[in-house]
Structure 1
Amino acid sequence: MSYYRTFRGFFRIIFSLVYRWQVIGREHIPKEGPVILCANHISLWDPPLLGSGIERMVHFMAKEELFRIPVIGFLITKFGAFPVKRGAGDRAAIRTTLKVLEEGKILGIFPEGTRSKTGEVGEGMPGVAMFALKSQAQVIPVAIIGPYRMFRPIKIVYGKPIDLTALREAKSSGDTLKETTNLIMTHIKALRDHHRS
């Protein structure tokens, strides 16, 4: 955790001085218990931005190739990341993700699965819905409003928890996953559109 605080402090300086960041909605983050932060994805800077905006530690999935790179693998591990095989049903990563939530920690995830080339919010992948429905985590939509340009403001907005009670009580199916994913993406987009100007 000491490494995490050190890196977070470093990134906060970068975001404050270089990008003049604005953090909105910190009060919506529960002080304890499992949380899934669901954000749009526009840059490689998004994971540290998402984690630097709040006080609790955030855990991330990251493609396994990154963990083989000297220094980078060490740094992202200390910053709360764990490996996932892209393009495959990685059962180990799924188990790790659910364990993170079972232990009452925070998971940061980008439902689109890849960075948006246009900056617009795209379609979400069903994985985020699976984690949301299989856990009792509070799901927080997050809007990252860029672009990342030196000395230009960037915003990160943490929204209110999404009510998934009815979907969690419904019979699990492909339609439930799709509906849950669409609901999460709708909240992210609405948050982004509201704070865009």
Structure 2
Amino acid sequence: MPAPDFYPDRQNPLFTRLFQSLSYPLAWWKYQMRLRISIEDVAKLKVLRGDRVILMPNHPTFDDPIVLFLLSTRAGELFHFLSAYANFKGLQTKLMQYLGTYSIKRGVGDRTSIAYTLKLLETHARCRLVIFPEGGCSFQNDTVMTFRPGAVQLAMQAMARIIKKTKTVPNFYLLPVSVKYYYTRPMNWAIEQSLIGLETALNITPPDLNFYPRLRGIGEAVSRQFEQEYFGHELEGSLNDRIAQIRAQMLTICEQEIGLEPMPSLPLRERVYRVQAIVEEQENPSPEHRRIYRGTVRLLNFDSLYDGYVAAVPTPERFLDTLTRLEREVFNIDKPKPKGDRFAYVKVGDPINLADYLADYQRDRTATIDHLTATMQGIVQQNVDQISAQLHQSA
């Protein structure tokens, strides 16, 4: 039986509440993760209990939806989640739906999912909807990627519908949520083991025992492999210049092989999602299509990577962010296991009421959406930085 084009939310409140009651021990057991959030931050969500809220968190790891589910448990609320269509696989599909998750196909303008979102926001006066506006994992614990405007756009469209139907302007909030992971113990052993594994796989002799030169040596080796694969020779220039050239070449080849006209004006992730959407439409993808899809996954793995991320602030978290990416590439692992017990720190920013921006939206929709999107991104990054500063002071 072919897979459906859309997976709706089939949230069962009783089942979700039961799962919430088990969520804290399950998160620690399976994901080695414990939530840390202040009473004041939880209150920012609770005070909006009677109104519609779209939560907009950063997305540094695949575990972030678990963190947001833990937040729903802590707040005593039921959340809905918008998730990439590709995540609905196997046995976890039903579980995701029963817990309030529905799908969206990225890169194709998923009209069914958009219509479903608008109806959900319009008909549920107390809706809490989680949308990750980066559009995918950044794989970086301290860096927030550019927010896509879709979340704000959907919220504004839903509010316009509500106003047309009820003749009143509702309170409708955007809530910035910042997620930052912090290992609970020294991670030198985990870093050492990861370095050794990668050096062995790449046949590298470490230059010395210091972590950073070894990490950079692995990064250079992986870059050279990409260069040989996609250019047939090693590139010149700085590592960041070479990474940029590799990304551009990989994306161009993926588009050409799938028969897509390149659109340089689009962000890289949007172009990648266009390619992935075409492959995902294939009922029985050919080996060639699977190879192309694998290329896009590799590309997204290094989308926000840059030389200097670890050197700027050489924390265990930044080391392991980068090592995890390299393990995903070298060992072809989609989701490496957690490296150790972590605290997931969550900070909730001050909510933004879209009702305050209605006049601006009616005057200039695009400018208002862009402004609100950039504002949300700035708040999330600022609060990630604040969590990092507080952790550094207490260390």
Asked whether the two chains share a fold, i.e. TM above 0.5, the reply is: yes
Task: Please show how residues 77-96 of structure 1 align to structure 2 within 5 Å.
Answer: 77-96=97-116
Task: Please show how residues 115-130 of structure 1 align to structure 2 within 5 Å.
Answer: 115-119=137-141, 120-130=143-153
- Contact conserved, 1:40 with 1:111, CA < 8 A, in 2? yes
Distance in 2 (alpha carbons) for counterparts of 1:121 and 1:3: 33
- Contact conserved, 2:35 with 2:70, CA < 8 A, in 1? no
Superposed displacement of residue 149, structure 1: 4.9
Alignment pair present for 1:21 and 2:35: yes
Alignment pair present for 1:99 and 2:115: no
TM-score by length of 2: 0.47
Question: What is the identity, as a one-letter code, of the residue corresponding to 1:121?
Answer: V
Residues 153 and 66 (structure 1), Cα distance of their counterparts in 2 relative to 1, 3 Å cut: closer
- Contact conserved, 2:33 with 2:343, CA < 8 A, in 1? yes
Distance in 1 (alpha carbons) for counterparts of 2:61 and 2:19: 18
- Corresponding position of 1:33: 51
SS of the aligned residue for 1:150 comes to coil
- Corresponding position of 1:3: 15
Distance in 1 (alpha carbons) for counterparts of 2:145 and 2:135: 10
Superposed displacement of residue 163, structure 1: 4.3
Residues 66 and 154 (structure 1), Cα distance of their counterparts in 2 relative to 1, 3 Å cut: closer
**Alignment gaps of 5+ in structure 1:** none
Q: Give 1 or 2 for the bigger CA radius of gyration.
A: 2
Superposed CA deviations along residues 49-79 of structure 1, whole A, max 9, x for unmatched, are 1122132111111222333x22111011011
Distance in 1 (alpha carbons) for counterparts of 2:67 and 2:18: 14
Structure number with the higher strand fraction is 1
- Corresponding position of 2:90: 70
Task: Please show how residues 112-151 of structure 1 align to structure 2 within 5 Å.
Answer: 112-119=134-141, 120-134=143-157, 135=159, 136-146=171-181, 149-151=339-341
SS of the aligned residue for 1:20 comes to strand
- Contact conserved, 1:133 with 1:167, CA < 8 A, in 2? no
TM-score by length of 1: 0.89
Residues 19 and 88 (structure 1), Cα distance of their counterparts in 2 relative to 1, 3 Å cut: same
Distance in 1 (alpha carbons) for counterparts of 2:26 and 2:348: 20
Superposed displacement of residue 46, structure 1: 0.9
Q: Percent identity?
A: 25
Superposed CA deviations along residues 21-50 of structure 1, whole A, max 9, x for unmatched, are 202311011222211100000112111211
- Corresponding position of 2:333: none
Structure number with the higher helix fraction is 2
- Corresponding position of 1:152: 342
Superposed displacement of residue 183, structure 1: 0.8
Structure number with higher relative contact order (C-alpha < 8 Å, ≥ 6 residues apart): 1
Superposed displacement of residue 16, structure 1: 5.3
Aligned residues, how many?
196
Distance in 1 (alpha carbons) for counterparts of 2:90 and 2:105: 19
- Contact conserved, 1:36 with 1:109, CA < 8 A, in 2? yes
Distance in 1 (alpha carbons) for counterparts of 2:140 and 2:70: 24
Superposed CA deviations along residues 135-156 of structure 1, whole A, max 9, x for unmatched, are 3521111000115653232211
